[in-house]
Structure 1
Amino acid sequence: MPILWLVIILGIVEGVTEYLPVSSTGHLILATELLGFRADEWAVFNIAIQPGAILAIVVLYWRTFWEVLKGMFERSPDAWRFVRNVLVAFTPAVVLGLALGDAIETMLANAVIVAWALIIGGIAILVIERLVKPKESGGVSNLTLRQSASIGLVQCLAMIPGVSRSGATILGAMSLGIDRKTAAEFSFFLAVPTLAGATTLQLFKHWDEIPTGQLQWIGLGSLVSFVVAWVVVKGFLAIVTRYGFAPFGWYRIVAGTAAVVWLTLR
């Protein structure tokens, strides 16, 4: 397969899966393997195209970010609580990401881990959807410090490829009684510093390992992921509000099972 098509496909996969509770990293690893390329050779590329998906959230929620920024200068309690909650939830990922960086990179090339994580995560979604009855929380600014810290700790599970960062944060929030819409939006906002930090760290560590010709592919992949993520996020909340997260749980189980069978037989 020509590299151009691989880049476009990976950009689409990143854009579709980054904010859904299905694991973008897991899908990128499986897609790379399925298309006949070595996952470890494209691991940095898969992380480097995340800025496109980050930009989609910034564009879609620019009014929210602007109001928060303006509110900080106006000493608005809501604005400062918003920033506090995002930073508190972001901190555990920074600490563990720096401490366990090498171990995490090793797992990024393991498609088997991804497959089983998809299945286990899917079961977790179905269980939480059935047992937990979240209540209206009033938005990200109204979350408590304890809730934000707990969500941040749960997000660290996503360092295992296939777990899903958005899935971990959303389900972690719901387990604390936070409503679906607030849980999903908090996951979106938390993605901005988390993905930006992970991308910056990986590019800093592996910049010399990126082939010169791959830089243009990173730009194209980021553009594709931006456009696709922008479309997907717009419809995500509507789907979740109407159907909940159970469809994503069933999808994960089916996709993970298919991956296990394929990896075993290939």
Structure 2
Amino acid sequence: MDVLWEIVVAIILGIVEGLTEFAPVSSTGHMIIVDDLLLKSEELFNPAVANTFKVVIQLGSILAVVILFWDRFMNLLGLKKDINGKKIVGPKLSLVQVIIGLLPAAILGFLFEDYIDSKLFGIETVVYALIAGAILMIIADFTQKRKKPTVETVDQITNKQAFLIGLFQCIALWPGFSRSGSTISGGVLLGLSHRAAADFTFIMAVPIMAGASFLSLLKNWEYITTDALPFFIAGFIAAFIFALISIKFFLQLINRIKLVPFAIYRIVVAVIIIIVFF
């Protein structure tokens, strides 16, 4: 019965991770509500195992992005000429632009990793981040209402825009702010369409998240034991499947519904956390 419950917990957490990692709603905030309040995986397992599990399921979400953007990544690496069977006419997103976008958050994350882990992962700071991120998203949407986007597709992004979006990504080092929330908002404020900003966000997320996840796994490799393996595998598969569904749905909707509905949802999540934990 205990093993079965462990698998159920793993699947639930994998679903939460998959649905929220790349939507601008904060996967951290949802993990606090679902795991810390309801499932309490750190009581079910060794806390180090529970934390390692959260890294493993994040890799499931990353794999979903790689598959959905496979042609794009192959094109960036020079291994494929077209995207989804269509040749790009005119400018196209380059690997250099992705690296430019990655550098600010990668450098700051490396320099301040210990501070972030020790000082910013509290429930109170996550609530502030949820609300602050919601405000940024609302500002981005209202700004674009007054000025139409000048960049309709990810291939039209300039080096300057890539760097500035990378600076916005630095805000996501604040747990609860949301990587996609900060970068999509930043992109929209810089003149990108919501879809172009979302595409660039997901492409940038893969190397930086994969790098951080693999480093974390190396530090905690000892906790991936035979006994814990079914727990990890179940969560990884659930995160992968639901990330595929979530990202496809999100990309189809983002240009239509924009960011305000997600901002309102973030505020609701923040209120729930405040009611329950304070």
Instruction: Tell me the residue number matched to 1:188.
Output: 202
- Using the TM superposition, give the Cα deviation of residue 38 of structure 1 relative to its aligned residue in structure 2, in angstroms: 6.1
Instruction: Tell me the residue number matched to 1:54.
Output: 62
CA distance in 2, matches of 1:44, 1:187: 25
- Secondary structure of the residue that 1:52 maps to in structure 2? helix
TM-score normalised by length of structure 2: 0.85
- Using the TM superposition, give the Cα deviation of residue 177 of structure 1 relative to its aligned residue in structure 2, in angstroms: 1.0
- Secondary structure of the residue that 2:25 maps to in structure 1? coil
Deviations 1:104-124 (A, max 9, x none): 222564222222211221122
Could you tell me which of 99, 111, 114 is aligned with 1:102?
Answer: 114
RMSD of the TM alignment (CA)?
2.4
| 1:62-211 pair list within 5 angstroms | 62-70=70-78, 78=91, 81-107=93-119, 109-132=121-144, 133-210=147-224
Between the two proteins, the alignment pairs up a number of residues equal to 262
CA distance in 2, matches of 1:115, 1:212: 36
Instruction: Tell me the residue number matched to 1:6.
Output: 9
Q: Which amino acid aligns with 2:98?
A: V
- Which has the larger displacement, 209-218 or 127-136? 209-218
CA distance in 1, matches of 2:252, 2:152: 18
Identity among equivalent pairs (%):
37
- Kept after mapping to 2: 8 A contact 1:107/1:160: no
- Secondary structure of the residue that 1:181 maps to in structure 2? helix
TM-score normalised by length of structure 1: 0.89
Give the 3 Å change call, closer, same or farther, for CA 107–11 of structure 1 in structure 2.
farther
- Which has the larger displacement, 55-64 or 253-262? 55-64
Instruction: Tell me the residue number matched to 2:258.
Output: 244
CA distance in 2, matches of 1:51, 1:38: 19
- Using the TM superposition, give the Cα deviation of residue 209 of structure 1 relative to its aligned residue in structure 2, in angstroms: 4.7
- Using the TM superposition, give the Cα deviation of residue 198 of structure 1 relative to its aligned residue in structure 2, in angstroms: 1.2
- Secondary structure of the residue that 2:172 maps to in structure 1? helix
Whose helix proportion is higher, 1 or 2? Answer: 1
- Which has the larger displacement, 41-50 or 236-245? 41-50
- Using the TM superposition, give the Cα deviation of residue 239 of structure 1 relative to its aligned residue in structure 2, in angstroms: 1.8
Query: Which segments of 5 or more consecutive residues in structure 2 lack a partner in the other structure?
Result: 83-87
